[in-house]
């Protein structure tokens, strides 16, 4: 039996999160393995939705489950939001790429999506309420739009320290990776290095 694919969450401000994801062209066992691993990663992290860039993949894949029930798994490959309608509502959103950070985000209550399933079959679906919000949030990730981009100035101020900590941790990880490649340990005082 082959080893299961596993993903770690990609945290802000990793550059892959800012890039527009590319279309999936191969609808094969590899795609199925990616989707299964994304669902496992999402469930382990306690999330309700996950986009491929959040696991470091620049692919147009999103998975979601608004209820936590296995029969409610949603897979959208190469999605496009065709319409956003209904009243605009404000709701507190979190994001697995911004652990512990929540912000009030305004979105339309409904959306209509065209996507493909795991076999490449195209379909359209309409979502309302919480499932619509999840789809719109994860779709933002496929477009390189992040929770921080949807935050009000007040939420950005309220979360400034946590956002700066994520940036500091990112710089530290980068310094460690560079040092590992070169065989030289990061020096104390290096920007982003932990003390």
32 and 52 in a single domain? The answer is yes
Nearest alpha-carbon partner for 60 in 10, 130, 114: 114
pTM: 0.91
76 falls within a domain: yes
Instruction: Write down the pLDDT at residue 186.
Output: 57
Query: Which residues are documented as binding site for Fe cation?
Result: 95, 137, 141
Q: How far is CA 51 from the centre of its chain?
A: 4
42 falls within a domain: yes
5 falls within a domain: no
Instruction: Write down the pLDDT at residue 181.
Output: 87
Instruction: Write down the pLDDT at residue 3.
Output: 78
Q: Helix H segments across the chain?
A: 29-45, 130-142, 147-150, 153-158, 160-182
Annotated catalytic sites, by residue? 138
132 and 184 in a single domain? The answer is no
Cα distance between residue 57 and residue 70, in whole Å: 24
Instruction: Write down the pLDDT at residue 182.
Output: 84
Residue 180 domain boundaries: 159-195
99 and 144 in a single domain? The answer is yes
Instruction: List all residues 6 or more positions away from 26 whose beta carbon is below 8 Å from its beta carbon.
Output: none
Q: Which CATH number goes with the domain that contains 82?
A: 3.90.45.10
- Rounded to a whole number of angstroms, the CA Rg of the chain reads 18
56 and 137 in a single domain? The answer is yes
191 and 120 in a single domain? The answer is no
Beta-carbon count within 10 A of 73 CB: 13
Nearest alpha-carbon partner for 133 in 161, 99, 105, 153: 105
Is-contact 86 128, C-beta < 8 A? yes
Instruction: Write down the pLDDT at residue 191.
Output: 46
39 and 69 in a single domain? The answer is yes
Per-residue pLDDT of the chain (195 residues; tens, 9 = 90+): 457 899 999 999 999 999 999 999 999 999 999 999 999 999 999 999 999 999 999 999 999 999 999 899 999 999 999 999 999 999 999 999 999 999 999 999 999 999 999 999 999 999 999 999 999 999 999 999 999 999 999 999 999 999 999 999 999 999 998 988 887 765 554 444 443
135 and 182 in a single domain? The answer is no
Peptide bond into 13 cis (omega under 30): yes
Q: Of 152, 167, 185, which residue is a domain's last? A: 152
9 falls within a domain: no
Instruction: Write down the pLDDT at residue 2.
Output: 56
Instruction: Write down the pLDDT at residue 183.
Output: 79
Number of domains forming the structure of the chain: 2
First to last CA, the chain: 44
Look up residue 92 and give its two tokens: 């507190």
7 falls within a domain: no
Instruction: Write down the pLDDT at residue 187.
Output: 57
Is-contact 38 21, C-beta < 8 A? no
Strand order in the sheet with 74-94: 49-51, 61-64, 74-94, 102-116, 122-128
Instruction: Write down the pLDDT at residue 194.
Output: 40
35 falls within a domain: yes
């Amino acid at each position: 039996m082959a080893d299961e694919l596993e993903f770690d969450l990609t945290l802000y401000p990793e550059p892959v999160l800012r890039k527009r994801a590319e279309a999936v062209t191969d609808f094969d066992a590899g795609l199925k393995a990616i989707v299964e691993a994304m669902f496992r990663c999402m469930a382990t992290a306690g999330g309700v939705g996950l986009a491929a860039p959040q696991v470091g993949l620049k692919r147009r894949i999103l998975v979601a489950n608004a209820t936590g029930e296995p029969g409610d798994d949603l897979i959208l490959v190469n999605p496009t939001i065709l319409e956003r309608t209904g009243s605009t509502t404000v709701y507190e959103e979190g994001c697995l790429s911004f652990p512990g950070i929540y912000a009030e985000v305004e979105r339309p209550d409904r959306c209509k999506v065209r996507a493909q399933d795991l076999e490449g079959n195209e379909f359209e679906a309409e979502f309302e309420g919480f499932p619509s919000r999840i789809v719109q949030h994860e779709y933002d990730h496929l477009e390189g739009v992040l929770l921080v981009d949807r935050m009000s100035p007040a939420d950005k101020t309220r979360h400034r320290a946590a956002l700066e900590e994520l940036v500091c941790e990112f710089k530290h990880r980068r310094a460690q990776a560079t040092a590992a490649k070169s065989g030289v340990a990061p020096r104390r005082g290096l920007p982003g290095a932990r003390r």
